[in-house]
Amino acid sequence: MKIGISACLTGDKVRYDGTDKRNSELLKILKEHELIKICPEMTAGFPVPRESLEIRNGRVYSSSDEDITKKLNEGAHKCLKMIQDCDFVVLKEKSPSCGVHLIYDGTFSGKPIEGHGLFTRLCLENGIPVYSENDIEEIKRKTAGT
């Protein structure tokens, strides 16, 4: 199988604070598959480190209150082209780009709410199945027998 995956989940230090969110359990499940690493923020040209980003009223803002929706949307569309022929994608929960079930509420207070990141919405609109790193059982079922 060909699987798109948030680069931070593979150990790439691409997060806003220069860290990663390597998920060894997930990588073990996916080890026999071709992984296409993506990061919409990096693809959009944002540096590491960078200001944190959150979604508020359908727009993406930096912690200094700059509306960066257009720039991030451009990165998301480039990433969509990269994973267009993937069987599914596994994305980082709570990210303003990749949140699958949860995103932060836009107040930069650390409060998660239900919602989709910008890239996740784009994937879903284009019929690409999306899972978060927390959907381990579903990912195991999806990759079983391949």
Report the percent of the chain where pLDDT is more than 70.
99
Q: Does 33 reside within a domain?
A: yes
Q: CA-to-CA distance for 69 and 83, rounded, in angstroms? A: 21
Q: CA-to-CA distance for 92 and 99, rounded, in angstroms? A: 6
**Predicted pLDDT at 145:** 67
Report the percent of the chain where pLDDT is more than 90.
98
Q: Does 145 reside within a domain?
A: no
Q: Does 146 reside within a domain?
A: no
Task: Tally Cβ neighbours within 10 Å of residue 85.
Answer: 10
For 47, the domain range is 2-140
Contact in structure between 135 and 3 (CB atoms under 8 Å): no
Domains contained in the chain, number: 1
Q: By three-state DSSP, how is residue 121 classified?
A: helix
Contact in structure between 141 and 1 (CB atoms under 8 Å): no
At 57-84, the pLDDT tens digits run: 999 999 999 999 999 999 999 999 999 9
Q: Does 32 reside within a domain?
A: yes
Contact in structure between 131 and 100 (CB atoms under 8 Å): yes
Q: Which residues are registered as beta bridge partners of 92?
A: none
